[in-house]
Chains A and B, each alone.
Chain A
């Protein structure tokens, strides 16, 4: 049984948001438009947070892609009254859309604010509906959703490995965001396998986890090392 995890090297992140676009395409995320976004209803499973350091003109942007941290001790899970979110055996923080009744307690209790609620039903105008991913269900209004680590890709890789009579190899699974990152800032894999790329990188001295002091045990590990020197 794998323990899926991700490493994001912030020193490599350029803030291009290719991961955000890839996630939209892969996971059938709707485009909600300017007006709804202004109300704080952006429909992103991954967002690139931008913070400014320094004073103009000696200023630099810092980027941090934030997605569901797939916590081992996820605060969102126990508060769900219907087990719509729970911990699956591979350490993923699973979300069962059909079971969700929309109390939004999980979203409140997420310290990373990465859960996304369906405020309305979504429609894709023709021919945009043709590009919807058949492996991912469309969510209706009133449901909570969030990053799944592209669980459909994990399933596909496992089925392929089973067909070929082998175990999943490192690199078989690549979530859409990881695949699309032009600077290879993101790496995905099995944290239980000490030789996987993700494990090797996670052992870096630059590693930290977001809001680690809360004891949520996130599965997303960030790398950040270079102190900024004024150019």
Chain B
């Protein structure tokens, strides 16, 4: 609807948000080529590993899992945040959510796709991966549903499917909008994806209904998924894995790193697509405060986990404890504390430094810190099994690092392609949010909750 009173006219907004779809700059091709090369390099390293054997990675006995599983938890963690944050913001009618939801949901889908590759990358006989899938087969064999890895399979797929739908359905109106504004093959492409959306009141009503049901369903699924990843470890009889708080600890860590990556993505999108008018300092301020809260929660959980281990002083538990805190993993441990708490907290706590750049610095620090945490959990425990004779060490090889680089590049590549092909800010939700904000007398104050009846527009 046209309203010339706002700072942005609808037409300007459409042009801003659809421009990346139509206009392709040289930087885009450069980025895709660079990322593509790294992905190819990672792919080659993986091919080498499949042909030669897992021995080309640094894993050994007793450290049977290494960088692959650490990165798996890390990616599943960042995937957790997107849809969960978006669903929670939608359910609580947070007024500032509108420009945030789509970029968050896209992170979820792509992080899950990439994270889900790691169990396969780490499989000794990856060509038999389909034996994990429960389907009737002529061998008459079924997977073992007692195994947390089968839970993983079910949880990841449920969450991936749910997140995909949760990303795609709210995108239908925007796809239709692009279809109506572009020509040629693009028109056919977006027309196909828009599934014939025309924007009748019934369609809108059902869409909002579907979004609200999905938001309710997806929150427990997101929590369950990262809990299942935690149970991969805590059901094992391993010192410092066999812990009851692991599931909530992992979920908190997941949200923590997920908000961080969301902020990083938003800062980059804002710069690259010139979205300063859409992703405003207020969004970074609010997400920064959320991040600050999770810094504290993370410290609380970590302290709770380490305190009881230290106090109980069981020899089996103390071995990995010492290895992490004082042993050769100590730089990782204290680095994690530094990156996850010491650096971000002052930046985020002081209003003056809680700027866009401040949030970016804190988020990058947290992303590194959370990866270190995952690495510590995997390697810190596995290097110190119960029988002292079997103790070992682990250092990743070039194969593991190449595959790690390749998968990170793949994640970024998917995100770049997505933000190129589709509006990364939900156009209709942004318009809706702006309309609601305009009705309020105090526009500049952060609006935490909006309309009493979601979707019901009362604008005169």
Contact = CB atoms under 8 A, between A and B. Distances in A.
Nearest to B55: A119
Contacts of A142: 53-54, 123-126
Contacts of B344: none
A39 interface: yes
A101 B235 CA distance: 20
**Would you call the interface of chain B mostly helix, strand, loop, or mixed?**
loop
A117 B124 contact: yes
Contacts, number: 144
Interface stretch (A8-16, A74-82, A162-170, A180-188): A74-82
Contacts of A82: 131-132, 141, 143-144
Contacts of B390: 112-113
Nearest to B130: A101
A113 B149 contact: no
A103 B236 contact: no
A207 interface: no
B2 interface: no
Interface stretch (B61-69, B101-109, B409-417): B61-69
Interface residues of A, number: 45
B149 A109 contact: no
Interface string A195-224: 000000000000000110010100000000
B62 A113 contact: yes
Given A102-B124, A141-B125, 16 more contacts: A40-B60, A40-B61, A42-B61, A49-B387, A81-B153, A82-B141, A82-B144, A104-B64, A107-B61, A107-B64, A109-B236, A115-B61, A120-B52, A120-B55, A141-B124, A142-B54
22 contacts: A41-B60, A49-B387, A79-B147, A79-B235, A80-B144, A81-B153, A83-B143, A100-B124, A101-B128, A102-B123, A103-B123, A104-B59, A105-B149, A107-B61, A107-B62, A108-B65, A109-B236, A111-B385, A117-B54, A118-B53, A119-B55, A120-B53
Interface of A: 36, 39-42, 47, 49-51, 66, 75, 78-83, 99-105, 107-109, 111-113, 115-121, 141-144, 210-211, 214, 216
Interface of B: 52-55, 58-65, 119, 122-126, 128-129, 131-132, 141-144, 146-150, 153, 232, 235-238, 382, 385-390, 392-393
